Amino acid sequence: MVLAMKTIRTAIFGSGFMGRVHLDALRRIEHVEVAALVGTNRPVIERLAAEFSIPTTTSDYQQILADPSIDAVHICTPNTQHFAMAKAAFLAGKHVACEKPLTISVDQAQELVALAAGKALRNCVCHNLRYYPMLQHLRRIREDGELGEILSLQGGYSQDWLLLDTDWNWRVDSSISGASRCMADIGSHWFDLAEHITGQRVTTLLADLQTFHPIRKQPKQTVESFANKLLGPEDSIARPVDTEDYGAVLFHMGQRTRGSVVASQAAAGRKNRLHIEIYGTRASAAWDQERPNELWIGHRESPNQILLKDPSLLHPTARSYADLPGGHTEGYDDTTKQMLKRFYASIAAPDAPAEFPQFADGLRQLSIVSAELESHKTRRWVDLAAL
Amino acid sequence: MVLAMKTIRTAIFGSGFMGRVHLDALRRIEHVEVAALVGTNRPVIERLAAEFSIPTTTSDYQQILADPSIDAVHICTPNTQHFAMAKAAFLAGKHVACEKPLTISVDQAQELVALAAGKALRNCVCHNLRYYPMLQHLRRIREDGELGEILSLQGGYSQDWLLLDTDWNWRVDSSISGASRCMADIGSHWFDLAEHITGQRVTTLLADLQTFHPIRKQPKQTVESFANKLLGPEDSIARPVDTEDYGAVLFHMGQRTRGSVVASQAAAGRKNRLHIEIYGTRASAAWDQERPNELWIGHRESPNQILLKDPSLLHPTARSYADLPGGHTEGYDDTTKQMLKRFYASIAAPDAPAEFPQFADGLRQLSIVSAELESHKTRRWVDLAAL
Amino acid sequence: MVLAMKTIRTAIFGSGFMGRVHLDALRRIEHVEVAALVGTNRPVIERLAAEFSIPTTTSDYQQILADPSIDAVHICTPNTQHFAMAKAAFLAGKHVACEKPLTISVDQAQELVALAAGKALRNCVCHNLRYYPMLQHLRRIREDGELGEILSLQGGYSQDWLLLDTDWNWRVDSSISGASRCMADIGSHWFDLAEHITGQRVTTLLADLQTFHPIRKQPKQTVESFANKLLGPEDSIARPVDTEDYGAVLFHMGQRTRGSVVASQAAAGRKNRLHIEIYGTRASAAWDQERPNELWIGHRESPNQILLKDPSLLHPTARSYADLPGGHTEGYDDTTKQMLKRFYASIAAPDAPAEFPQFADGLRQLSIVSAELESHKTRRWVDLAAL
Amino acid sequence: MVLAMKTIRTAIFGSGFMGRVHLDALRRIEHVEVAALVGTNRPVIERLAAEFSIPTTTSDYQQILADPSIDAVHICTPNTQHFAMAKAAFLAGKHVACEKPLTISVDQAQELVALAAGKALRNCVCHNLRYYPMLQHLRRIREDGELGEILSLQGGYSQDWLLLDTDWNWRVDSSISGASRCMADIGSHWFDLAEHITGQRVTTLLADLQTFHPIRKQPKQTVESFANKLLGPEDSIARPVDTEDYGAVLFHMGQRTRGSVVASQAAAGRKNRLHIEIYGTRASAAWDQERPNELWIGHRESPNQILLKDPSLLHPTARSYADLPGGHTEGYDDTTKQMLKRFYASIAAPDAPAEFPQFADGLRQLSIVSAELESHKTRRWVDLAAL
């Protein structure tokens, strides 16, 4: 039976940081073959294809969509390209895994969700951070009521790779990345986790955004995400910036639950610190992406706990998210592996529920970002539809 | 010369948790004699007087104010009593150290500040947390420009001693403690530190407050602050509560600096966690009251730092705030000692600048609390006068 | 040029925990094809072969060695089988990567090292822990003199998976795993790091070993490493145990440097805690495998540092050991990937130096374990040849 | 009844770092009056006497012993003076609290213990570190069996204040401080805790000591303990040093329990890091003096715990060792206060058991230091009498 299982043929669009993360993850997943790479950076895609015996390379994604032997595609290109590629892929009958943000507007995302609804195709938006084993454990103990009713959430997502006005990346440019940068890129990860873990929805929010550097110096060469920190001083030109470096948001989840979050790409010393704290009537939890194999569980009437990742101590339903024994740390690459493993398992089992974030989740995050932009502009609280 | 220095005679009003903290601190300070205790809990004040050879006890503070041999008084009573006591003390020519919040209204605080301005009397409001050695070090390196320009601040103050609806203390009752509880009691410590350390002022804020338990069960016996967690179930009566358990605030400090803070007395597992993070253009800093002898300093271009309290590593101007060698931890009681040591030194040296928080600082915090209450009510941003 | 690079065909012997770790790593490495799996657990190897399109499976490793298209083999079987397999593989002209301990005796290891010396074949012993990025950074800053002269080392390796007398695994049985368990299995990782990072050799040592459970209860079914913690109570038989649960070692590295280490498989709450502290005349360093993306650097005259993994902050020669941007954690699986990537790069570049642990390093660790056993037996200090 | 309680009159011998720590603690303790200071540094003792209204100062301790109004004395002078002072104080009928090490030889300590046994006088040796609240909690849960049977202990005590060969203090000089420095000064604290917490005795040990700097540069001025780090370069003379900078010890506690500890005064970045880890069959515990308000409790079958100091969570018998509410940290000065508070309570209640370390405990630590010196010299295991 096992032997008869079909290998799924897939293609990756984009060869930047995220494209390579997807390639690495796919190589680790059973019954998947990376059959094609699509990209405009020819030297990189040729090299990757040679290294991993990938038969096809092209800069024309339509060519891949036209190939009936390709079952699924991964969209890892800059944000403004997501919509057209995902739409075309659906129309061509491909399963689609798309990097976040799903699109650069709510309207586009709604169109994709509607399109997906009518087809027997799997759709995944890559909120991979859900798949740190400790977060799946947290979600499950919350479902079991171990935290009681949630009273408040707080936290943030802090990085320093865009601290200086000499830092540049395509994400800074709203014409390529969309109107929101910091909130769309990293704030959305936080809200995805907050809603995924609590099972509750943000109902109203107030946002305060800030562009610390309204002018940045753009180097004359292209800079890949995060790679700017390894560059020396370069020839550059001053460019006005209209995307935010920082955002702080207060929010409600219904009548009782309150929340607060800050996202910043200008926080010296914080490299990739997503931290989330959830306070319930019975217990609390805190987690920090810079120490992802630990989960703090807070108690009023007994000592607090630190759960170090150990399959034997994870909730039984969370155990499959950890592939290594206790204390053997799992990292960032492993989260993408866990997410995509479930995406491909669902392709092989069309009737099974989707145990990964879907386009509807991508739309949800775009709605939140849209409300943040509106709140910042009007300086008022903005209500969200529950969706 | 040293031998000729006068010993200052002082009295403490109130024998609850804070009153005993002041007594302990005063015993450790040179040239001070605790000469009288004032309180309504006779057994406690009689016991303390016997233990520490304090000659006078009374329940009538006016009797103490009438005694010309008393130089200074400490007001450690419930909040609603502060104003009348402080005013009377000034009029009687006493130096005054008053617990925070200074009063329960901005008007009262303004009156006290005006009264103090006309007299050669020292006035101190007890924002003792400034005197953790690491915070004085932080303030001084910020003054030296080591953080650069401040871009953002975030943090909070979390406790769990009022988590349950069976938790009760006089602070819950607005008729004794004033209209704000969580923000006035602990949020004010955070804002005092934020302004003290950065040297900047909050210019506008938006607050979102929440009372998670609109009804609490009041035990029939009196409960001292924090002592509720040691009590068993008691006879109680249901009481409506109009003071907040939680508050989240967004704020600006001028055109560029942004901030966010959350205070909660319903955060399971957090005992007394004041944490503050300050992000600058050159470096960042983070500090947590639950690990007060450490200061995190964040860098973009070099490894982050953890400064463990060590006089030889402190800024020279901060060194006098640490009384013990490196790694010998200093705790909560030591902060009050440091603050009051400076208060008494200033009494002995009338021309020296005040190196402790003054009534004007207490007024400042009341103004912020007042703005928070207004913002919550109107659901709008509220501007603050710079003061 | 890149395209012309030959893909190296490899086989994995063993399908237990380590075998699967190797398979996962090999899938992530460029120009490598896993062409065969060898194992006695047929269902597992058939399943793995199907999942990852591996053409050949067999329980007869000699069949693989006879296949001229196979370039390299990975030995991931129980310890007593390593010697025969590695020797046969060399004789068949294969490059060999062997799990640690290399063999179960110094004599066997010496024979393998001698055999390797005469052949143009790469040999790797899998001390993968060297390849946490922070440890490579540490090694390089030590080489640059940033720690000064090393005065002392201390640390340990603590686990809890064999705490109870109901815990069982083949490693407990000296007839399968050799005379030493705790020191050979985990103590050897510590000493490998100590010598790798400092560049110094242990010259004399004193060991104190202990078997806390001289009798253990062996389940009637086979138990894979670490899997015991997920088992319920089982039918079992009492078995005497002659391998140690714990070992403490004092050691010298030459005339000045002193050291101390403890390894334990009976340390409740420690899952996989290898920690090492190195104290030099100019600075110190500490690292803990349970938080592997952080390196503590201790200073006498300035604040201590915490370096969070960030390629832009790593020593230039250590940068290639990190594949992800700052704060994107790399975990246990990533260390094996880094080690084997270098092993395969060396096969493709026969004249390049070996940047991975070799059989001589495996022999070194066996010599240390042998000295530990002798010291424990004689209760005396034992000198080591420098090798 | 309370009012009738006698105030105990006490004198402090020595005005260095420890003398001032005792003075500070005594001011905080009920029913105690510091009536005299004894010291050779006249300016310091005159200043302290003026500051704290202490009537008598002298450089002649015999004068104090002859005063029948003095009930108790505190010996805070260099180690070689302890024996004569303590003996004379006993003979004069005074209660004695003596800094550690109690004496500089086992014989002297035995004589003091014998002398004390014949008198109704309280004797205390100042192993104050026992009185961190978390350690008292740990001792009590161990007594209740929560750790099960102890399998192993490990840890150390690391400082950096004598790292450099330009660091000097009287403790370096064996003619003033005795034959052992690092082990007598800080190693003894560790062993005192180990035996106090576990209730077990070291039965055999092996020690490896090291003097990293056999020559040190002595400044021409006197240097108080720890103050060297605040000095600039000074005129100095090269002096041979025969006391150890570092010691590592392996030990047994009976047939089953094993241990390992390292003490160092040359560990860059460690300021005062006493850390102890205790591994039992049911649970484990770890504690670090640099974060003294936290206790780690390790578990095999459930998440680990971090107990933050909170009276409501402490073992009921440990609760009186914490004077402040949850999360209000207690530091180094507070341990001396707790210890001496119990010493004075016992003077007032002659029939009550001694809840503080006594001279017999000081003798015990001298026996361990003596065994360490012998083991290092002979390079052999040395057995200890159980005492």
Across the interface, which of A246, A268, A300 has its CB nearest the CB of B300?
Answer: A268
From first to last of its 387 residues, chain C has per-residue pLDDT tens of: 344 578 999 999 999 999 999 999 999 999 999 999 999 999 999 999 999 999 999 999 999 999 999 999 999 999 999 999 999 999 999 999 999 999 999 999 999 999 998 888 999 999 999 999 999 999 999 999 999 999 999 999 999 999 999 999 889 999 988 999 999 999 999 999 999 999 999 999 999 999 999 999 998 877 777 777 777 666 889 999 999 999 999 999 999 999 999 999 999 999 999 999 999 999 999 999 999 999 999 999 999 999 999 999 999 999 999 999 999 999 999 999 999 999 999 999 999 999 999 999 999 999 999 999 999 999 999 999 855
Per the CB < 8 Å rule, is B229 touching D311? yes
Which C-chain residues 278-297 have CB contacts (< 8 A) with chain A? 289-294
CA distance C180 to chain D (A): 18
CA distance A257 to chain C (A): 30
All partners of chain D with 3 or more CB pairs under 8 angstroms: A, B, C
Measure the CA–CA gap between A115 and B41, rounded to whole angstroms.
74
Measure the CA–CA gap between A79 and A177, rounded to whole angstroms.
5
- Asked whether the predicted pLDDT for residue D149 surpasses 90, the reply is yes
CA distance D125 to chain C (A): 30
Per the CB < 8 Å rule, is B325 touching D225? yes
Across the interface, which of D303, D306, D307 has its CB nearest the CB of A313?
Answer: D303
Interface test with B, best of D10, D45, D169, D290 (most B CBs within 10 A): D290
Interface test with B, best of D6, D328, D344 (most B CBs within 10 A): D328
CA distance C69 to chain B (A): 48
Please tell me if residue B304 touches chain C, with a CB cutoff of 8 Å: yes
Please tell me if residue D268 touches chain B, with a CB cutoff of 8 Å: no
All partners of chain A with 3 or more CB pairs under 8 angstroms: B, C, D
Distances (CA, A) of B187 to B19, B213, B262, C362, D288: 21, 19, 8, 59, 30
Contacts of B154 in chain A (CB under 8 A): 156, 248, 262
Contacts of D291 in chain A (CB under 8 A): none
CA distance C224 to chain A (A): 11
Please tell me if residue C212 touches chain D, with a CB cutoff of 8 Å: yes
Interface test with A, best of D304, D310, D313, D315 (most A CBs within 10 A): D304
Please tell me if residue D224 touches chain B, with a CB cutoff of 8 Å: no
What string of DSSP letters covers D17-70?
A: HHHHHHHHHHHTSTTEEEEEEE-S-HHHHHHHHHHTT--EEES-HHHHHT-TT-
Over residues A160-173, mean pLDDT? 93
Per the CB < 8 Å rule, is C325 touching A230? no
Q: Is the whole-model pTM more than 0.80?
A: yes
Please tell me if residue B27 touches chain D, with a CB cutoff of 8 Å: yes
Across the interface, which of D206, D248, D279 has its CB nearest the CB of C266?
Answer: D279
Please tell me if residue C313 touches chain B, with a CB cutoff of 8 Å: yes
| Dihedral (CA of A168, A174, A175, A176) sign | positive
- Asked whether the predicted pLDDT for residue D222 surpasses 80, the reply is no
Measure the CA–CA gap between A165 and B300, rounded to whole angstroms.
13
Token output for C227: 């899997």
Measure the CA–CA gap between C344 and C321, rounded to whole angstroms.
15
- Counted across chains B and D, CB pairs separated by less than 8 A come out at 138
Please give, one letter per residue, the 3-state secondary structure of D269-288: CCCCEEEEEEEECCCEEEEE
Please tell me if residue C176 touches chain B, with a CB cutoff of 8 Å: no
Residue C4 confidence (pLDDT):
57
* Cis-peptide into A101, omega within 30 deg: yes
- Asked whether the predicted pLDDT for residue B309 surpasses 80, the reply is yes
- Asked whether the predicted pLDDT for residue D234 surpasses 70, the reply is no
Token output for B361: 């600082």
Per the CB < 8 Å rule, is A279 touching B264? yes
User: What confidence tens digit (pLDDT) does each residue in D293-303 have?
Assistant: 999 999 999 99
pLDDT band of residue D227 (cuts 50, 70, 90) is confident
Nearest CA in chain B to C303: B307
Per the CB < 8 Å rule, is D267 touching C284? yes
Token output for C266: 């009976």
Nearest CA in chain B to A282: B268
Measure the CA–CA gap between D61 and B347, rounded to whole angstroms.
36
User: What confidence tens digit (pLDDT) does each residue in A94-149 have?
Assistant: 999 999 999 999 999 999 999 998 888 999 999 999 999 999 999 999 999 999 99
The Cα angle at residue A10 between residues A4 and A13, in degrees rounded to 5? 175
Token output for D255: 């047939």
| Dihedral (CA of B347, B352, B357, B363) sign | positive
Residue C366 confidence (pLDDT):
97
- Asked whether the predicted pLDDT for residue B56 surpasses 80, the reply is yes
Over residues A187-208, mean pLDDT? 98
Per the CB < 8 Å rule, is C306 touching B306? yes
Contacts of B308 in chain D (CB under 8 A): 271, 290
Distances (CA, A) of A22 to A18, A97, B102: 6, 10, 58
Residue D362 confidence (pLDDT):
97
Long-range contacts of A82-90, Cβ-Cβ distance < 8 Å, separation of 24 or more: A83/A108, A83/A111, A83/A112, A85/A13, A85/A61, A86/A112, A86/A123, A86/A359, A87/A111, A87/A112, A87/A115, A88/A61, A88/A62, A89/A65, A90/A115, A90/A116, A90/A119, A90/A121, A90/A123
Percent of chain D, pLDDT > 70? 97
The Cα angle at residue A187 between residues A294 and A87, in degrees rounded to 5? 115
Please tell me if residue B305 touches chain C, with a CB cutoff of 8 Å: yes
Token output for C263: 């390894």
Per the CB < 8 Å rule, is C268 touching D280? yes
Contacts of B24 in chain D (CB under 8 A): 28
**Looking at per-residue confidence, does B250 or D228 come out higher?**
B250
- Counted across chains C and D, CB pairs separated by less than 8 A come out at 130
Residue C115 confidence (pLDDT):
95
Contacts of D161 in chain B (CB under 8 A): 325-326
Please tell me if residue C306 touches chain A, with a CB cutoff of 8 Å: no
Contacts of A158 in chain B (CB under 8 A): 279
User: What confidence tens digit (pLDDT) does each residue in A300-333 have?
Assistant: 999 999 999 999 999 999 999 999 999 999 999 9
Across the interface, which of A33, A271, A310 has its CB nearest the CB of C327?
Answer: A271
User: What confidence tens digit (pLDDT) does each residue in B184-205 have?
Assistant: 999 999 999 999 999 999 999 9
Measure the CA–CA gap between D366 and B153, rounded to whole angstroms.
52
CA distance D268 to chain C (A): 5
Residue D230 confidence (pLDDT):
75
Residue B3 confidence (pLDDT):
45
Residue C1 confidence (pLDDT):
38
Interface test with D, best of B228, B333, B341 (most D CBs within 10 A): B333
Distances (CA, A) of B364 to A60, B205, B274, B383: 63, 14, 19, 13
Measure the CA–CA gap between C203 and A177, rounded to whole angstroms.
59
Which D-chain residues 47-76 have CB contacts (< 8 A) with chain B? 47, 50-53
Residue C254 confidence (pLDDT):
95
Return the percent helix, strand and coil in chain B, to nearest 5. Answer: 35, 25, 40
Contacts of D289 in chain B (CB under 8 A): 327, 329
